[in-house]
Amino acid sequence: MAPIDQKQRAERRMLDLLADSGLPLPDVVEYGEACVRFLWMDRKVAVIVELEDFDVIDAYGGYDREDVAA
């Protein structure tokens, strides 16, 4: 099970990415055992962030917003 601080860090980074990109924020954020789920109910869309390698990727600077396609 992923620690709560890791889940909160992933949530903050995802919400920042969405806000910086001008995309709508999710209606619901759920913490799973080893993931964080972001749900947009009206659009019927879900994004699941697996936390297994989250800190490893973060240690190398994470992702650039330009590399993420919406």
Could you tell me which residues are beta bridge partners of residue 49?
Answer: 36
Asked whether the beta carbons of 61 and 48 are under 8 A apart, the reply is no
CB 32 within 8 A of CB 7: no
The closest of 66, 60, 65, 33 to 48, measured between CA atoms, is: 33
pLDDT of residue 41: 97
φ/ψ bin of 26: left (φ > 0), alpha (ψ from -120 to 50), beta (otherwise):
beta
In this prediction, residue 47 carries a pLDDT of 95
What does the pLDDT read at residue 7? Answer: 93
How far, in Å, CA of 13 to CA of 32, rounded?
17
pLDDT for the residue 68: 54
Domain parsing of the chain, residue ranges: 4-67
Total-model pTM: 0.76
How confident is the model over 59-67, as a mean pLDDT? 54
